[in-house]
Amino acid sequence: MATSFSNFRQRFTRAPRYQRICSYALVAYLIYALLLGLLVPYLTKSIAPEKVSALLGRPVLIEDVTINPFTLRFEIKGFEVKGINIQTQEQQDFVGIGRLTVQINLWKSLFNGSINLQTIEIDQAFANIEKFNDNQFNFSDIPEHIAIQATPSETPELVAEESNDASGLPHIQIANIGITNSAFNFKDQPTGAVLNYPAINIGLTKFNSLAMLVNPKQANAPTPTYNRFNLSIEGADESAVTTTGRFQLTPLEAQGRLALKHIKLTTFWPFIAQQITAELESGIVDFATNYRFIGDTTPAENTTTPQFITDTGQFALRSLILASADNELINLPLFTAAGIALDLQQQLVSIDNISTDGMQLHASVHQGEVDLATLLTPKSLTDTPPPPSVVVVAPTVTEKAIAEQDSVVDSVIDVIETVSEIEVETVIEQVAAIEARSDARVWVVNLGEFNLTNYDINIVESWITKATKWRISPLNFSTKAISSSYNAPIDYELALSINDNGSFASQGSIDIKQQSIAAHISLEKLNLTQFQPYISSYLNIIMKSGFFTTKGDLYADSKGTTRFNGAVQVEKLVINDKKLNKSLLKWQDFTINSIALDQQANSLLIDHIQLTRPYAQVIVAADKSSNISNLVIEQESANKTSKVTSKVTATAEQKPATTAENAMLIEINKFTLVGGKVDYTDNVLKPSFAAVIENIEGHVGKLSSTTTKNAELDIKAVVNKYAPMTLRGVVNPLIPEPFIDVEFVFNNFELPSMTPYSGTYAGLDIDEGQLSLALKYKLEKNHLEGSNHIFIDQLDMNDTKDSDAGSFLPITLAIPLLKDSSGAIDLGVNVSGDLNDPSFNVGEIVLKTLSNIILKAVTSPFTLLASLVDTTEDLDKVSFANGSTTLAQTEQSKLDALAKALAQRPQIKLNIKGSYDESADKEALQNSALNSKLSQSTGSIIEQSTNAEDLPVSAGMTNALIDLYELETKGKADALRNAIATQQPALAEPDLEQVWLRSLYTETRKLQVVTEEQLRGLAKSRANTIKSHLREVSKVDAGRIFILSHQSNVPSTSTETTLTLVVK
């Protein structure tokens, strides 16, 4: 063996040099092949898992390691790092690579002077990440274990190698880099979310670290194929993320296209599900865009300026459904954005179009809160954390500390008040100031157009009402170009339908920077019945029908300018009262053909108001309530006043009172009323009373709050089919001191229809009669002058059998007294007063005056008769001389005047009741009886009216008196003379003689007998005298004069005969 080896060595040393070199090279190559192809794989497979496992603290497996020393192909199969379930301590798959292949292209590397790899491939790689809680993952132990295993050592300083390439990057070329058939799985135990991507593929071809996207020397040359990449991530839920493109490393730049396909939002929803009350049932996102990234666009400068650009982006959100536990909240079939472009350096985002269609939204409002906002608001923003349970030792509170605390509280209050006073204008001014700064960087978003179509908004309002449903569908809204810089107004169009009972449309422009809107609005046939739930709490009415329409142009801005020019219409309005459920108010049409409101000019201009076929009904119930008396529901006053209310009240108190200078200009060119009707029913009465005012038509001319020109007023109507009524004149109610000059005429109203009132309250039926009124009123400078002319023709009333009621006025006597010879009652009442006087009330004055006229007619009927013949004498009393039945001339004239008055009141009859004065008339009759006896004794004629004072004195008269005295008194005349002389000693003889004769006369008269029958006869004679004069001289019909029985009720205190009036 030794000899053989020696021989071989000698031959080898004698061989040519090149053979020896080749032999050495062959042996070295064989050794290299053995080491690299067999030893290194073996050592790697044997040692590497143990070392890596020790480093990571996890089991590490390598299935196989192969190296082809000839092709320099390195391959590792079955590399896997096991995981450990912290909760169960069981092993589970963590991360691994099914196959890792690296092949080096040595010859190209040598010839090109670069690092050249043929391929780097990873196949069937996987990673399973699991989150156990907020701070722990299934890999959380690995960094801790590595930190424990690490030992401190000095780190050598890295010396940068000089390179001729300005970029500093080595030249590396890789023909193919790929990650194929890989998978990623993430489990989040706290939320239950699972992200599973079983197909991840990444490819990079012809990688060249120095390659450029564009050859700067040949700009128009075909695009090279270096550095092309593609990425595809497919999820188990059929979602996918793909991107393709190219890049360069020096300077760093990439361009390509990114696409997100069929991304299901439900996959990611569990991450936030615990924070959101609502539940996401479905939602799919698609997105695609071209992009370009440039690492530094200013390499010559010290600062890095990256650039990122996207264009032709497309975004779509489909089938988005959010629901609560009870019902579906949001169902959005489609939301798209097209033409999305972004420029990082320009800070510009452009979107050609945003469109959304068919969304259904369901929400409810309760106690001022929208449930949708609550359901979609993260709980972390609404939940208030409980205060920490920390025991703190309270320090000694000094006056300084208290003052500091008060200062802090005051500061907080000031901040709150300041924030509450911030207005939109202030915010916009601040934004404008930021934009005006030269160094400000403000993003600008430009939108080409926005289209929202077929939205269906459903809201249940339970805040003010119990549960009122509102549906806004279809809702369509679109705009033209919009820019976040707000340099130009935004043109828009809006159209919607409200509960299928009205539509609203608006077209115009909004200038956000100027805070103004200019729009044309149209509200068509809005059904007012749908607002019934909001009315019921305040009014006892039922809205049975009604449609509101308005069209016009609106302009408003933040400077206080508001203008509206348009028309308003309310048609087919029917309102019933809730108590009786009968018509209260209705009309066929209410139209304002032109209305112009200008807040800045403080004016309201209306061209023509027309009210067609209005109808109102007033019903008084048996309990005296009416269908209009309880229309307003009394609201309970709040016990507490909120700060907001106080602030509003304080603000209102600070506002100056309206003066003539700042009063609004109001002008109405014309008001027209066509075919009106009013029904009135009073069920308090038995039978009930009903009246109808119909055919109400007319107009009011131009009204103005500033002009002194008055508007013409002309309104006509018919009451109960046959009684016409008119209201004419001129008015101006809009000026500070209204002016009115009108005349109201009401003719030929049939009074029998008023029998329910007269029967109930006066116990009388109206058999006949017509009422006419003529009222004139003038109001100027708050001073009212009015005249009320009342004319009642042929009024006839009788006692009713259906009522026991009596009247507080003696109507049966008042009517004949007020009726003239033609059967008419003609009354006039004038009123005058100042409206500023709170005690002045026109209605009360008129009613009181009419009542006084009736009472005066009844209580002083002869005064009323005297006024008819222009005399002030008391026509109800006729005077006679004592004991006489002869009428004096003055009394005859009085009876003649009475006869003339009776001629004007043909229904009045006269009662005459004779009277006497028991003392005066008796004395007069006694004188008459004595005078008769003296006439017989003396043979001379003595007047019946002669008395003791005017008795003629003569010897014969003296003797006659002495005889009659002594005869009838049984006394002595001389004794009477002596008694007088004794009582009055100062009397001279002639005077004593006269006193003695008078006493003889008086004492003898007293003994003359006058009976009660004589006195009654005197009274009767006086009554007959009056009747005879009225019949024979004054020509009064005998059937109108009645003499009351002299046996009853004959007064005994006056010689005046009393006359009374009666209706028979």
pLDDT at res. 397? 40
Higher pLDDT, 595 or 621: 595
The answer to whether the CB of 1036 falls within 8 A of the CB of 1030 is: yes
pLDDT tier at 1062, thresholds 50, 70, 90 = low
Closest CA to 1050 of 1028, 1023, 1011: 1023
Give mean pLDDT, residues 542-556: 94
Burial string for 963-1000 (b: 16+ CB within 10 Å, else e) reads ebbbebeeeebeebbeebeeeeeeeeeeebeebbbbbb
Give mean pLDDT, residues 421-425: 46
pLDDT greater than 80 at residue 577: yes
Q: How far apart are CA 946 and CA 932, in angstroms?
A: 10
pLDDT at res. 451? 96
pLDDT greater than 60 at residue 394: no
pLDDT per residue over 656-686, tens digit each? 545 555 678 888 999 999 999 999 888 887 7
Structure tokens at 223: 């695009």
Structure tokens at 303: 């600062």
Percent of the chain with pLDDT over 70: 82
pLDDT greater than 60 at residue 254: yes
What does DSSP say about strands 703-704 and 73-84: parallel, antiparallel, or unpaired?
unpaired
Cis peptide before 474 (omega within 30 of 0): yes
Residue 245 parent element (H or E) = strand 240-249
Q: How far apart are CA 339 and CA 343, in angstroms?
A: 13
Give mean pLDDT, residues 311-319: 95
Count of beta carbons in the 10 Å neighbourhood of residue 710: 19
Residue 830 parent element (H or E) = strand 824-834
pLDDT at res. 433? 58
For the chain, counts of helices (H) and of strands (E) = 23, 42
3-state secondary structure (DSSP) of residue 238: coil
Structure tokens at 1020: 């009767």
pLDDT tier at 235, thresholds 50, 70, 90 = very high
* Segment of 472-476, 947-951, 1000-1004, 1060-1064 carrying the highest mean pLDDT: 472-476
The answer to whether the CB of 250 falls within 8 A of the CB of 209 is: yes
576: buried, middle or exposed (CB in 10 Å: 19+, 13-18, 0-12)? buried
> How long is the chain?
1064
* Segment of 11-20, 75-84, 218-227, 525-534 carrying the highest mean pLDDT: 525-534
pLDDT greater than 60 at residue 1014: yes
The answer to whether the CB of 618 falls within 8 A of the CB of 680 is: yes
pLDDT at res. 457? 94
Residue appearing with tokens 């569990």: 270
pLDDT per residue over 926-974, tens digit each? 888 878 888 888 877 777 777 777 777 777 787 888 888 888 888 888 8
* Beta strand ranges found along 528-664 (DSSP E): 541-557, 562-577, 583-598, 603-612, 615-620
Q: How far apart are CA 239 and CA 243, in angstroms?
A: 14
pLDDT greater than 50 at residue 389: no
pLDDT at res. 867? 78
Give mean pLDDT, residues 305-325: 92
pLDDT at res. 638? 44
Give mean pLDDT, residues 741-765: 79
Beta bridge partners of 65: 76
3-state secondary structure (DSSP) of residue 619: strand
Phi-psi region of 1006 (alpha: psi -120 to 50; beta: other; left: phi over 0): alpha
Domain boundaries, the chain: 15-141+174-188, 665-859, 860-1064
pLDDT tier at 720, thresholds 50, 70, 90 = confident
pLDDT tier at 833, thresholds 50, 70, 90 = confident
3-state secondary structure (DSSP) of residue 291: strand
pLDDT at res. 803? 55
Long-range own/partner contacts, residues 832-836 (CB < 8 A, 24 or more apart): 832/783, 832/784, 832/785, 832/786, 833/783, 833/784, 834/782, 834/783, 834/784, 835/779, 835/782, 835/783, 835/784, 836/782
Q: How far apart are CA 744 and CA 427, in angstroms?
A: 61
The answer to whether the CB of 290 falls within 8 A of the CB of 311 is: yes
Residue 633 one-letter amino acid:
I
Write the secondary structure of 728-766 as one string of H (helix), E (strand) and C (coil): EEEEECCCCCCEEEEEEEEEEEEHHHHHHHHHHHHCEEE
pLDDT at res. 318? 94
pLDDT greater than 70 at residue 883: yes
Q: How far apart are CA 1028 and CA 911, in angstroms?
A: 13
pLDDT at res. 390? 38
pLDDT greater than 60 at residue 154: no
Q: How far apart are CA 997 and CA 1007, in angstroms?
A: 16
pLDDT at res. 317? 95
pLDDT at res. 1? 58
Q: How far apart are CA 442 and CA 432, in angstroms?
A: 11
pLDDT tier at 815, thresholds 50, 70, 90 = confident
Give mean pLDDT, residues 971-979: 82
pLDDT greater than 90 at residue 313: yes
pLDDT tier at 178, thresholds 50, 70, 90 = very high
Q: CA-based Rg of the chain, rounded to a whole angstrom? A: 61
pLDDT greater than 50 at residue 258: yes
Q: How far apart are CA 370 and CA 463, in angstroms?
A: 10
Structure tokens at 778: 């003038």
Q: Nearest-5° angle of CA 374, CA 379, CA 385?
A: 125
pLDDT at res. 864? 73
pLDDT at res. 832? 84
Give mean pLDDT, residues 302-315: 88
pLDDT tier at 613, thresholds 50, 70, 90 = very high
Q: How far apart are CA 463 and CA 365, in angstroms?
A: 6
pLDDT tier at 223, thresholds 50, 70, 90 = low
3-state secondary structure (DSSP) of residue 67: strand
pLDDT greater than 60 at residue 184: yes
pLDDT at res. 963? 80
pLDDT tier at 746, thresholds 50, 70, 90 = confident
Cis peptide before 251 (omega within 30 of 0): yes
pLDDT greater than 80 at residue 366: yes
Residue appearing with tokens 């000698």: 10
For the chain, the straight-line distance linking the first and the last C-alpha, in angstroms and rounded, comes to 183
What does DSSP say about strands 172-188 and 115-123: parallel, antiparallel, or unpaired?
parallel
The greatest distance separating any two alpha carbons of the chain, rounded to the nearest whole angstrom, comes to 237
Closest CA to 172 of 140, 215, 207, 148: 207
Higher pLDDT, 850 or 466: 466
The answer to whether the CB of 608 falls within 8 A of the CB of 593 is: yes
Q: How far apart are CA 346 and CA 311, in angstroms?
A: 14
The answer to whether the CB of 783 falls within 8 A of the CB of 814 is: no
Contacts of 755 (CB under 8 A, 6+ apart): 765, 766, 800
Give mean pLDDT, residues 88-117: 84
Higher pLDDT, 465 or 239: 239
pLDDT per residue over 636-657, tens digit each? 654 444 444 444 444 444 445 4
Mean pLDDT of the chain: 81
Q: How far apart are CA 799 and CA 758, in angstroms?
A: 10
pLDDT at res. 409? 38
Residue 646 one-letter amino acid:
S
Higher pLDDT, 922 or 588: 588
pLDDT greater than 90 at residue 203: yes
Q: How far apart are CA 563 and CA 543, in angstroms?
A: 31
Q: How far apart are CA 554 and CA 565, in angstroms?
A: 7
The answer to whether the CB of 574 falls within 8 A of the CB of 669 is: no
895: buried, middle or exposed (CB in 10 Å: 19+, 13-18, 0-12)? buried
Q: How far apart are CA 618 and CA 215, in angstroms?
A: 95
pLDDT per residue over 774-810, tens digit each? 888 888 888 888 888 888 888 777 776 555 555 545 6
What does DSSP say about strands 783-799 and 824-834: parallel, antiparallel, or unpaired?
antiparallel
Q: How far apart are CA 592 and CA 605, in angstroms?
A: 11
Contacts of 19 (CB under 8 A, 6+ apart): none
The answer to whether the CB of 522 falls within 8 A of the CB of 502 is: no
Structure tokens at 806: 């009596």
Residue 261 parent element (H or E) = strand 252-264
Q: DSSP state, 1032?
A: I
Give mean pLDDT, residues 748-773: 78
Q: How far apart are CA 134 and CA 566, in angstroms?
A: 62
What does DSSP say about strands 603-612 and 665-682: parallel, antiparallel, or unpaired?
parallel
* Positive or negative: CA dihedral 744, 747, 753, 759: positive
Lowest mean pLDDT among 395-409, 488-502, 526-540, 570-584: 395-409
Q: Nearest-5° angle of CA 632, CA 638, CA 644?
A: 110
CATH hierarchy code of domain 860-1064: 3.30.1330.60
Count of beta carbons in the 10 Å neighbourhood of residue 155: 6
Higher pLDDT, 382 or 249: 249
